Amino acid sequence: MGTVLTVANFSDANMDLRVVMHGNGLTLLMRANEDPNFESGVANLKSQGIGFKVCANTLKGRKISYEDDLYADTPPPASF
């Protein structure tokens, strides 16, 4: 999350920033689903216009439920 925070500090209203998450990167959204401190951090980034995209192949391969296991609001495309 540190890298995302660093980028967010330098972003401006003209940036369209998306964080693409796969493999172990999904841990951030999994922890945000369970830990209010992580949820608050991710919600703050989202409020700044930073989007989070997750890899559908990682979800399938690791048997992660998008709806139940992640703090996210937009489901991934079939093979992102």
Task: Give per-residue pLDDT as tens, 41-78.
Answer: 889 888 888 888 888 888 999 999 988 899 876 666 66
Side-chain half-sphere CA neighbours of 36 within 13 A: 0
The verdict on residue 77 lying in a domain is: no
Say what the pLDDT of residue 51 is: 85
The verdict on residue 29 lying in a domain is: yes
The verdict on residue 78 lying in a domain is: no
Number of domains the chain is built from: 1
The verdict on residue 75 lying in a domain is: no
Quote the CA–CA distance of 49 and 38 in Å, as a whole number.
17
pTM (global) more than 0.85: no
Residue 12 has pLDDT above 70, yes or no: no
The verdict on residue 41 lying in a domain is: yes
The verdict on residue 79 lying in a domain is: no
Domain of 8 in residue numbering reads as 2-69
